[in-house]
């Protein structure tokens, strides 16, 4: 009887060892590894969208370098903090970044600018975000800013573009919940249709069709300014104006600034925003 018990014990031990060995040969099941790759609008990454038309990209991931031209921007008082993807530029009063626009940016006839922002509403003046200076103009060749008096239930977003001879404006008020959260802002201009478009989070919110505006022909092109309008830098980027008491600075975060030399389609821009929002 004792012999049979010993045989049963040995057999159980062998089976347990074999079971452990087989189990250890297999990796733990990971359901994510079986999920299909993320695909939004036919794209799996933001870098797949109109790559041949991307003429400027500042990710602010611990660097002020434009990844397209390889040119470093000049920082005045901004820092880095957590962003929508990696790190972001963190602004402050009297702080901004100046970047030299490449020839491809200076000679755009159409364009799209898109970026992420997390900002409090303006309390002491308009908040300039991404702007292309005009060295002798009050307004720049391109301006995007939050208007003074905006609130979280009445956000006011404005943009203007100079085509070499005149200005065109597009704006949207009564925007809900635009401040103190990550929001994507887009501005495009299509020379073929003379159409300006404003976007929020990948969706068009306002359009303007200045008759006969045509191909852009920027004049007296200055620096790209991140964090304020171009006359709020020290010294001013334009002879057209100096500091204004009704204008201020971005004290929030700015991230993933992209400039394309074409007007992205609504579908392209929407896919771009969704992909970047998922860290892609």
Asked if residues 153 and 165 have their Cβ atoms less than 8 Å apart, the reply is no
| DSSP label at residue 98 | E
pLDDT along the chain (280 residues), means of 10: 47 45 51 68 93 98 97 98 96 98 98 97 92 97 95 93 96 95 98 97 96 95 98 97 95 98 98 95
Cα angle 43-58-88, degrees, rounded to a multiple of 5: 95
57 shares a domain with 27: no
Are 258 and 68 contacting, i.e. CB atoms less than 8 angstroms apart? no
- Taking residue 183's Cβ as centre, other Cβ atoms within 10 Å add up to 20
pLDDT at 9: 44
Residues 151, 17 share a domain: no
Q: How many folded domains does the chain comprise? A: 2
- Residue pair 151/177 in contact (Cβ under 8 Å)? The answer is no
Task: Tell whether 114 and 208 lie within a shared domain.
Answer: yes
pLDDT the model gives residue 256:
98
Tokens of 48: 């797949």
20 and 74 within one domain: no
Please report which helix (H) or strand (E) contains residue 76, including its range: strand 74-76
Give the domain extent around 92: 48-277
Q: What pTM, to 2 d.p., does this model score?
A: 0.87
Question: Same structural domain for residues 196 and 264?
Answer: yes
Report the residue count for the chain: 280
């Amino acid at each position: 009887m004792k012999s049979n018990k010993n045989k049963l014990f040995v057999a159980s031990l062998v089976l347990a060892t074999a079971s452990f060995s087989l189990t250890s040969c297999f990796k733990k099941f990971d359901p994510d590894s079986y999920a299909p790759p993320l695909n939004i609008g036919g794209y799996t990454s933001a870098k797949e969208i109109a790559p041949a038309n991307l003429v400027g990209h500042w990710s602010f991931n611990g660097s002020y370098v434009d990844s397209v031209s390889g040119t470093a921007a000049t920082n005045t008082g901004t820092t880095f903090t957590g962003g929508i993807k990696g790190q972001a530029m963190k602004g402050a009063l009297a702080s901004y970044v100046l970047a030299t626009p490449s020839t491809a940016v200076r000679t755009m006839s159409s364009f799209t600018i898109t970026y992420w922002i997390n900002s409090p509403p303006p309390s002491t003046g308009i908040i300039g975000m991404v702007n292309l200076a005009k060295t002798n103009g009050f307004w720049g060749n391109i301006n995007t800013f939050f208007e003074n008096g905006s609130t979280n239930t009445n956000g006011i977003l404005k943009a203007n573009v100079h085509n070499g001879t005149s200005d065109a404006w597009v704006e949207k008020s009564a925007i809900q919940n635009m401040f103190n959260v990550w929001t994507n802002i887009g501005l495009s201009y299509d020379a073929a249709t003379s159409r300006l478009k404003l976007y929020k989070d990948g969706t068009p919110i306002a359009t303007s069709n200045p008759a006969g505006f045509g191909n852009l022909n920027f004049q007296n092109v200055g620096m790209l300014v991140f964090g304020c309008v171009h006359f709020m830098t020290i010294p001013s980027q334009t002879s057209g104006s100096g500091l204004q008491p009704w204008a201020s600075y971005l004290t929030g975060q700015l991230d993933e600034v992209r400039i394309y030399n074409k007007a992205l389609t609504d579908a392209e821009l929407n896919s771009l925003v969704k992909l970047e929002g998922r860290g892609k």
